[in-house]
Amino acid sequence: MINYAALVHQVASLCRETGEWIADQAMLFNREQVEYKGRNDLVSYVDKEAERRLLHGLSRLLPQARFLSEESNAQTQVAQGAYWIVDPLDGTTNFVHAVPVYAISVALMVDGELKLGVVYEINRKECFCAYEGGGAYLNDTPLRCHTHTPLSASLIATGFPYYDFGLTAYYLRILERFMKNTHGVRRLGAAAVDLAYVAAGRFEGFFEYNLQAWDVAAGSLIVKEAGGCLCEFTGGNNYIFGRSIIAAAHPSLLNEMLEQIQPVWEEALASQNKA
């Protein structure tokens, strides 16, 4: 039997340690050290070494677990058993350009269920963590985001497409809806941080598509344990692997966000199927 309450603290300690190393590298980094995995898909020795440190430490904590990780991505789905889902540096483009919003994201999934999640925002030294049934915390402070704020009074976070632009026109229609019906829309450039900020009550909601499991796994559990709720753009529940996610502080806000997104998204998917 895994003691998740103890394990989450061990994972948080590992993330803090690795985050300190990343912060040290940020002082020395130059853009000539960047590699490209694809269009606008950046990676550096910092991502790779941070992943190596995390995977080594996590292997010692739970030797039986396998890995789903951004830089050594052998698969995009998990089977039965225990899996660490790891993004060693969420917000690599921010890191490369010295924009101080990037984080480590680590989640544990067992038999298809998220059991713990840690998001460590490196520059602010903020550690968001949660385990199933144990609540969510920012450092040692409990988080509760279950507030009833209407969409018209909400600050919403999102992300922009950066390599697959096939549905951009539909995304812009969705973005326009939120621009006109909220307090504002923000784009930080790190989905794990966006989700953690929903859990902390800094954003009321978040939506994005074309994401991977390592972008959202830890943050989504933190939102859920803080009292928030999540779904896909279609309203479904496969937001970890379904490539789209909506997170909200309250079910009524989730419904309002879904009303803005779902009709346009169904048009987008229909056009994609015809192509």
**pLDDT at residue 28, as a whole number:** 85
Q: Do residues 258 and 246 lie in contact, with contact meaning Cβ atoms separated by under 8 Å? A: yes
Kindly tell me if the per-residue pLDDT of 75 is higher than 90: no
Kindly tell me if the per-residue pLDDT of 47 is higher than 70: yes
Q: Do residues 21 and 29 lie in contact, with contact meaning Cβ atoms separated by under 8 Å? A: no
**pLDDT at residue 45, as a whole number:** 84
Between CA 62 and CA 39 the distance in angstroms is: 35
Kindly tell me if the per-residue pLDDT of 262 is higher than 50: yes
- Domains by residue range for the chain, with CATH: 4-142 (3.30.540.10), 151-274 (3.40.190.80)
Kindly tell me if the per-residue pLDDT of 258 is higher than 70: yes
Read off the pTM: 0.94
Kindly tell me if the per-residue pLDDT of 74 is higher than 50: no
Considering only 52-61, 69-78, 96-105, which range has the smallest mean pLDDT? Answer: 69-78
Which amino acid makes up residue 134? G
Kindly tell me if the per-residue pLDDT of 176 is higher than 60: yes
Segment 33-53 mean pLDDT: 75
Segment 200-211 mean pLDDT: 96
Q: Give the Cα-Cα-Cα angle 149, 209, 34 (nearest 5 degrees).
A: 120
- Closest CA relative to residue 171, chosen from 236, 242, 244, 222: 244
**pLDDT at residue 36, as a whole number:** 66
Task: Count Cα neighbours of 56 within 13 Å in the Cβ-side half-sphere.
Answer: 8
Q: Do residues 74 and 81 lie in contact, with contact meaning Cβ atoms separated by under 8 Å? A: no
Q: Whole-angstrom distance between the N-terminal and C-terminal Cα of the chain?
A: 49
DSSP state of 100: S
Q: Give the Cα-Cα-Cα angle 164, 169, 170 (nearest 5 degrees).
A: 95
**pLDDT at residue 146, as a whole number:** 75
Burial (CB < 10 A; 0-12, 13-18, 19+), residue 153, is: exposed
Between CA 61 and CA 46 the distance in angstroms is: 23
**pLDDT at residue 265, as a whole number:** 95
pLDDT in tens, 106-161: 999 999 999 999 999 999 999 999 999 999 999 999 999 878 899 999 999 999 87
**Torsion sign (Cα): 233, 236, 238, 239:** positive
Q: Is 98 left (phi over 0), alpha (psi -120 to 50) or beta?
A: left
Considering only 33-37, 130-134, 150-154, 192-196, which range has the smallest mean pLDDT? Answer: 33-37
Task: Count Cα neighbours of 24 within 13 Å in the Cβ-side half-sphere.
Answer: 8
**pLDDT at residue 141, as a whole number:** 97
